[in-house]
Amino acid sequence: MLGSAAVSQGPGCLSLRCPDPSCSAIVLQGMINKLGKHEDKEKYARFALRAYVESRKKTKWCPAPDCTCAVEFVSDVNYDVSCNCTFRFCWNCTEEAHRPVNCDTVSKWILKNSAESENMNWILANSKPCPKCQRPIEKNQGCMHMTCTPPCKFEFCWLCLGSWIEHGERTGGFYACNRYESAKKEGVYDEAEARRERAKHSLERYMHYYERWASNQTSRQKAIADLQKAEKEQLAKLTEIYGIPETQLKFIIEAWSQIIECRRVLQWTYAYGYYLEDKVKSGFFEYLQGEAESGLERLHQCAEKDLLAFLPFSKHDTTEDHPSPAEFGEFRVKLAGLTSITRNYFENLVRALEDGLEDVQCAGEAATSSKATNSKKAGAKGKVAKKQPSRSSSDHSDDTWPCERCTFLNPSSADACTACDKQRY
């Protein structure tokens, strides 16, 4: 990391020329330090640092608000980088870190969230234009009798958009329209209704993914605040109650850090799912996402609620009012275990999504190949197929076996899943 107080020596150091056009002398830092005023020295140092950072391909300014640090990129694979201010961002697009989603998807998602297209979709799905002035009108009651806002004040039927003067008991009353039903059977309203239904479906689908994306973003911000509270208050209280050094309570900080990271990953999986068009992959993706979410909720509840049982409810609480050290030890094992399981699962989830869910495609190709082989065997005459012994789901291959809970492929030597600890048999 490079801070704003970094020295301006080295490659990219700023050099100034004398303002006199007839003089070609270069003004270096030594001359500024010797002859310049204090504010000139500070200004030169800022310009020198800025020139040094912006002239190098491997350094960038941290995009976090009010952060004055620059970050040096040292990886060639993972574009997620972290600044001293704890802000994590993507080196490639400088947006907030967004694995497992690529930069193009992030760009489209952010643009969609800020675009007016969704407002237009809502208007199209939930309103109709006034037949007279064409202003969109929303129906907010059950009656089909609509009155446009002033100065238009045109009265019309919500269903057929005809003048209300032509309606009454003979057309179905206030809550129905026989003229509309007859015209619909003749196909008069098919195109307009189909367009409105498509817009409504598109809007509902977008809101499904956006609400969950935003919900995880809010949960992540809350988890960041809870992490800061644990660092500033809770560790000291636990040390006072149980006599355990804060260095041995870092498992709580690790749990909160993992929750924050998993919330970020889970947040962006909803953007991933929105743009995933393959129906076969979508089903498998939703399963993986659901398992990840349920595992994260278990960890989050343990860190947020189960921990409260070991903290004082008021200043007058005594050590006798709290669970025993043995019970705290059991909580420590539980929280550390959930942290490890959740970390492993989310790492595998990120890897699977970044690989484009290739396992689903390979499985589909294998199933197609198997069907073709069986078809050839069934078509052959005069040959007797010898029945093969059935293999259990555990015997996926000679080298690996899939976990029934999280589908992670484990080495054959493992008796329990390395991702979620579920026993093989």
Active site residue 143: yes
Q: What's the rounded Cα separation, in Å, for the pair 258 and 385?
A: 53
- Number of Cβ within a 10 Å radius of residue 408: 19
Q: Which of 90, 143, 157, 417 is labelled catalytic? A: 143
Write phi, then psi, for 107 (nearest 5 degrees). -60, -45
Q: Return the sign of the alpha-carbon dihedral for residues 388, 389, 391, 397.
A: negative
Report d(CA 97, CA 90) in Å as an integer.
5
Strand partners for 410: 401
Question: In degrees to the nearest 10, what's the CA dihedral of 33, 35, 38, 43?
Answer: -70
Task: Identify residue 235 by its one-letter amino acid code.
Answer: L
Q: Say which amino acid occupies 214.
A: A
Closest among 302, 300, 298, 303 to 420, alpha carbons compared: 298
Distances (CA, A) of 20 to 13, 238, 380: 22, 68, 96
At 95, give phi and psi (nearest 5°): -80, 170
Buried b (16+ CB within 10 A) or exposed e, 186-214: eeebeeeeeebeebeeebeebeebbebbe
Q: What is the torsional sign of CA 96, 99, 100, 102?
A: positive
Q: Alpha-carbon distance 131 to 156, whole Å?
A: 8
List residues with catalytic annotation.
143
